[in-house]
């Protein structure tokens, strides 16, 4: 799978099978997406590489265990999130060159407790108020 930012300054390649695909309705994802849920997939760290450009990063310094957000420093497209201690990263589905084929559909929806009235979840989709049980 391949993908990029809006302006094309950043390109990446995924060579691993995604661990899971989801839509996240947490408040943080709403900020990053501009209001909607985040459609994303977990990709093993060793199966992801930037192939063009170097991403800009943002890490909140006021939170313990803050995530690293990587995005294009030119156009601002958010590409992925790195979570401390996890062996995967969270890749935004909308940045894939072929999201319909490579992402397809979310397997489940999380943080429904934060969902807005205008967020849509497909009928029959497995939903969790918080994170799913491990």
pLDDT in tens, 2-35: 999 999 999 999 999 999 999 999 999 999 899 9
Which pLDDT tens digit goes with each residue over 80-109? 999 999 999 999 999 999 999 999 999 999
CB neighbours of residue 87 within 10 Å: 10
For residue 125, what are its two tokens?
């989709």
pLDDT at 134: 75
pLDDT at 86: 94
pTM assigned to the model: 0.92
Between residues 133 and 95, which one has the greater pLDDT?
95
């Amino acid at each position: 799978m391949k993908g990029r930012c809006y302006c094309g300054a950043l390109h990446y390649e995924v060579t691993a099978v995604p661990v899971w695909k989801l839509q996240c309705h947490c408040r943080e994802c709403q900020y990053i997406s501009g209001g909607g849920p985040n459609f994303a997939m977990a990709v093993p760290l060793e199966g992801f590489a930037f192939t063009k450009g170097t991403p800009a990063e943002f890490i909140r310094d006021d939170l313990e265990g803050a995530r690293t957000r990587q995005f294009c420093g030119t156009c601002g497209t958010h590409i992925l999130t790195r979570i401390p201690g996890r062996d995967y990263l969270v890749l935004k589905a909308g940045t894939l060159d072929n999201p319909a084929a490579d992402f397809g559909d979310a397997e489940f929806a999380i943080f429904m407790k934060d969902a807005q009235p205008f967020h849509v979840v497909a009928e029959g989709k497995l939903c969790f108020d918080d994170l799913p049980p491990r």
